[in-house]
Amino acid sequence: MTIQLGQIAPDFEENSTHGVLRFHDWLGSSWGVLFSHPKNFTPVCTTELGEVAKLRPEWDKRNVKPIGLSVDPVEAHRRWESDIEETQGAKLYFPMIADPDARVSTLYDMIHPESDPTVTVRSVFVIDPSRKVRLILTYPPSTGRNFAEILRAIDSLQLTDARSIATPVNWKPGEPVVISPKLSNEEASRLFPQGYKTLKPYLRVVDLEEAAQ
């Protein structure tokens, strides 16, 4: 199946390094980042998993639970965890799903059509607490993911869920945002009493930080 933004993330029950888990139950009231790896004991994935572990304070601050997946069995995951800790200086605290029958990989359309059928692409799914898929990224097997960008995107999603705004190109937390075109000027003035700049009728920029000062 093809996963679409806004749909409910498919639920599954599968074995992992933290035991058997049911995905939706494991998520609880948290955001989730489900990310796949082509297979165990690969160099780029080793660096990625170490980075995700190092970023634990950032995930926790945003109420995000990361969870990895590889088509190899749990025993191989545990051996790989030791390598990751040794080479990356970070101990994995989050589960790694074992998907030897590629059931979850197929469910989430992680198998590259022109590659080895046992090799998943580097997929990332950001899922909100209502279980909806909010962001999908797919990298080729040779390209390591940018988890700083994934964190930035989550910051944008969480901020824009709470306010009638959107974040512009290359936005970073603390920078000006754009006001939703759905808001009239009167509504915008009421919601953003600090004032905003109108560049075009459809392009109004506001600094949220000014209101907080």
Catalytic residues: 45
Q: In DSSP terms, which residues pair with 132 in a beta bridge?
A: 8
Give CA–CA dist 174/168, Å, rounded.
Answer: 12
- Report the candidate in 133, 108, 139 with the shortest Cα–Cα distance to residue 121: 139
Contact 70, 37 (CB under 8 A): yes
Q: 31-37 and 122-127: which strand pairing?
A: antiparallel
> 70-108 burial, b if ≥16 CB within 10 A, otherwise e?
bbbebebbeebbeebeeebebebebbbbbbeeeebbebb
User: CA-CA distances (angstroms) from residue 212 to 36, 192, 208?
Assistant: 39, 11, 7
